[in-house]
Amino acid sequence: MQVPFSPAIVHIVGRKGSGKTDLMVNIIRTLAARGYRIAGVRHSPHAHALDAEGTDTEQFKKAGAIGSALITAHETNLFIPATDLDEKLAPVRRAFQHCHLILVEGGIKDGREKIEIIPPSAEPLCVGDANLRVVVSGEYAAPGLPSFHPAGIEQLCSFIEERYIKAALSGAIIAGGQSSRLGFNKALLPFKGKPVIERMFETLSPIVSSIKIIANNPADYQFLTTETVPDIRPGCGPLSGIHAALSLSNTEYVLIVSCDLPLIIADTLKLLLREYPGYDITMFKHTLFEPLCAIYRRTCLPALDELIDHGEYRIIDLFPSLNVRIIRVDQDEAFQSINTKEDYEKLQKKFNRD
């Protein structure tokens, strides 16, 4: 059974006329420009009769329908009976599972993660509320909480990005290969003045919450000052590294890359970042699939264990039982890996030529 992704839900709260809608619009616009999918929801404490007396949908409910919906030329409106907040949010989470974040305007009493906007000379509503995370105000600062000026939307969005969007995604660099065709550890080969694994580490760092190195020789990677962990189920090729990365992750999703892809840049990886919410695997394909430059969800673990238990080590065999998003690309240059001395020399020549 597919498990819907539950993106973080953040409530934008404040007094009537405080500018909640404008703040919502600016946050959505700014985060959308950064490549994120944001859903906007309006929360109201009042009982609005959207399918009012005499409408078809109201008659359906009177006849005993457990819910109703209105499908128009461009959208669908659902009318689902609900009482507590979790029940009200459940269909919202399902509908927006492919979003990075759900912003809700309103919900002073109900919101579990709140950002309050406080206009000049106004009294705050939520100061002292354990669920208040941020204050947006030109003159008021809440003790112990981050405060942002209404004009500082970029800074506010960077805070939201770090706390609520990146928190769902960590990174893992697979460096556990034997490098048998090279005869030495390819992760430590110099490229553009640094070991290739260090270049990969620097590429991932700005776009994920944390990074693990998956390798069975941790002493080789102490210079990276990050955690290095071994395979949990060794001897299964790339599946071993993917399995360890997901098993030891503290995030729902993991961006997994091989250490020997020196031409990978952040802009390439951001194509994955735009698409991954709600999918078990998000992967590139040109002529071939690129399983070691992909985002995996921890929901893959049961299928991974089953393959390994049966001695089946092809990553493509995961696809039938999982929800997979394939991103097709025309060029495979970014995915050129170092498997032989000839590969390494070819990449070095290309770099020098460029």
Question: What sign does the CA torsion over 326, 165, 170, 322 have?
Answer: negative
Residue-number span of the structural domain to which 60 is assigned: 8-151
Do residues 256 and 241 lie in contact, with contact meaning Cβ atoms separated by under 8 Å? yes
Whether pTM exceeds 0.75 = yes
Q: Which single residue is written with the structure tokens 């950002």? A: 115
Note whether 122 and 202 are same-domain residues: no
Note whether 84 and 146 are same-domain residues: yes
Note whether 315 and 340 are same-domain residues: yes
List the one residue out of 163, 113, 122 whose CA is nearest residue 9. 113
Note whether 304 and 183 are same-domain residues: yes
Note whether 120 and 244 are same-domain residues: no
Note whether 88 and 202 are same-domain residues: no
Q: What is the pLDDT along the chain (354 residues), one digit of tens a residue?
A: 566 788 999 999 999 999 999 999 999 999 999 999 999 999 877 666 666 777 888 888 889 898 888 899 998 888 888 888 888 888 999 999 999 999 999 988 887 899 999 999 898 999 889 999 999 999 888 889 999 999 999 999 999 999 999 999 999 999 965 555 566 788 888 888 889 999 999 999 999 999 999 998 888 999 998 999 999 999 998 999 999 999 999 999 999 999 988 889 999 999 999 999 999 999 999 989 999 999 999 999 999 999 999 999 998 999 998 999 999 998 888 888 887 788 888 887 776 665
Torsion, CA 65, CA 70, CA 71, CA 76, rounded to 10: -100
Residue 158 lies in a domain: no
Note whether 342 and 203 are same-domain residues: yes
Tell me the two tokens of residue 337: 């890996």
Note whether 132 and 252 are same-domain residues: no
Tell me the two tokens of residue 55: 């409408």
Residue 3 lies in a domain: no
Question: CA-to-CA distance for 344 and 354, rounded, in angstroms?
Answer: 15
Count of structural domains, the chain:
2
What is the CATH number for 225? 3.90.550.10
Note whether 22 and 146 are same-domain residues: yes
Tally Cβ neighbours within 10 Å of residue 70: 14
Note whether 112 and 243 are same-domain residues: no
Return the ∠ at Cα 85 (arms to 106 and 136), rounded to 5°: 25
In degrees rounded to 5, what are phi and psi of residue 302? Answer: -60, -40
Question: CA-to-CA distance for 188 and 219, rounded, in angstroms?
Answer: 12
Tell me the two tokens of residue 199: 């270049």
